Amino acid sequence: ISLGVVHSHALSSSSPSSESLKKTFIDKCEAFIQNNKSSSANNCQKIWSAFQQAFVGRDPCNVPMEAYDPLIHTVIQDPVCNRMLFWSKTKKIVHDFTEKRDCFLTLEDTLVGFIMNGLTWCGKEESNETFTTGCPGWTDCVNNTVRSFWNRASAAFADAACGDVTAMLNGSIATPFSPTSIFATIEVKRFKAAKVKSLSVVLVTKENKGTTCDDPSLQDLQKEIEPKLKYNCKAVPDAYRTPDRQDLSRKLSDRL
Ligand code: N1C
């Protein structure tokens, strides 16, 4: 608990951590809108209010993903065909890559994904407070506040997918297409052949080690998608572990 926050919000009825989450939320929301003029139709106060109603006063292990429906419906977001980038177990490498170029868009490059990225939050039954510590962890319970948010936001992101979509998967782990991941359980299931033309997997590998595009889990991925949807897979050496640092960027950019 920060005394500075208590002081500056002395007249507020909410707890300091409620105020700090709200402040972080609104500040990030406004910063995003400043930098992304296409989202200027959004109202950060309205978005906050739709967001907080999902979990305030609820058991933090009992927040279904549908609780975030009002949030998702409040946000105005243009779809960007052919440039959407999905990922699983490659968060760092994906963002090292997308930071440097605007051509690919991840969920964290959209308004809600940008705001919530890196944050933890939850409420408590019979309380109007918001907490940022002591919240259940990712695997502590299925319907936890944070996990349900990412499930719901990922569902909306995948529903908006159109044209050629890309997924960056981790070739250094035993199961690059992990059946329990959000990518497998939520996103892939929502790619509809009527809108999505193709799925290109970029399998990030350490030099010539690890899994290849023939991996059984990637065969499962191929079986999972609608037959009309084109599928391809390319193994690309990890740009940060090989001398040819340009390789990943070049291979990805080639697709555009
Ligand atoms: O379970 P995952 O990966 O397959 O989820 C990744 C998948 C991406 O395509 C994103 O669209 O789901 C979306 N997504 C996020 O954008 C996101 N940002 C931060 C899912 N999870 C996200 N996080 C955090 O990463 C989340 O809080 C949790 O801790 C991880 C899940 O990542 P994963 O298992 O590597």
Q: State yes or no: pLDDT of 239 exceeds 70.
A: no
Active site residue 162: yes
Reported ipTM: 0.91
Which of the 8 DSSP states describes residue 67? G
Residues 6+ apart with CB under 8 A from 34: none
- pLDDT single digits (tens) 241-252: 444 455 566 666
Query: Can you give the pLDDT at residue 161?
Result: 97
Query: Can you give the pLDDT at residue 12?
Result: 39
Query: Can you give the pLDDT at residue 249?
Result: 64
Query: Can you give the pLDDT at residue 5?
Result: 37
The proportion of the chain whose per-residue pLDDT surpasses 70, expressed as a percent, equals 86
Cα–Cα distances in angstroms (integers) from residue 241 to residues 10, 28, 200, 207, 244, in the given order: 51, 32, 22, 8, 9
Query: Which among 158, 127, 163 is positioned nearest to 17, based on CA atoms?
Result: 127
- pLDDT single digits (tens) 169-208: 999 999 999 999 999 999 999 999 999 999 999 999 987 7
Atom of ligand 1 nearest to the CA of 91: 35
Residues 6+ apart with CB under 8 A from 108: 95, 114, 117
Annotated catalytic residue within 61, 81, 103, 141? 81
Annotated catalytic residue within 29, 122, 162, 233? 162
Which residue has tokens 């899994």? 211
Residues 6+ apart with CB under 8 A from 118: none
1 vs 70: which has the higher pLDDT: 70
Ligand 1, residues 139, 150, 196: which to mutate, most atoms within 8 A of Cβ? 150
Residues 6+ apart with CB under 8 A from 255: 164, 166, 200
Ligand 1, residues 107, 114, 122, 187: which to mutate, most atoms within 8 A of Cβ? 107
Residues with CB under 6 A from ligand 1: 86-89, 91, 107-108, 113, 117, 138, 150, 154, 157, 181-183, 187
Q: Other C-beta atoms within 10 Å of 209: how many? A: 9
Nearest residue (by CA) to ligand 1, atom 6, is 88
Atom of ligand 1 nearest to the CA of 108: 16
Quote the ligand 1 centre to 169 CA distance (angstroms): 12
Atom of ligand 1 nearest to the CA of 138: 29
Quote the ligand 1 centre to 125 CA distance (angstroms): 27
Q: State yes or no: pLDDT of 3 exceeds 50.
A: no
Query: Can you give the pLDDT at residue 254?
Result: 61
Query: Which among 156, 159, 158, 163 is positioned nearest to 82, based on CA atoms?
Result: 163
Quote the ligand 1 centre to 17 CA distance (angstroms): 25
Query: Can you give the pLDDT at residue 96?
Result: 87
First to last CA, the chain: 48
Residues 6+ apart with CB under 8 A from 7: none
- pLDDT single digits (tens) 113-139: 999 999 999 999 999 999 999 999 999
Active site residue 81: yes
Query: Can you give the pLDDT at residue 14?
Result: 47
- pLDDT single digits (tens) 214-231: 999 999 999 999 999 999
Residues 6+ apart with CB under 8 A from 157: 84, 86, 107, 110, 113, 187
Query: Can you give the pLDDT at residue 13?
Result: 43
**Tokens at 229, concatenated:** 């949807």
Query: Can you give the pLDDT at residue 133?
Result: 96
- Please state, rounded to an integer, the average pLDDT across all residues of the chain: 89
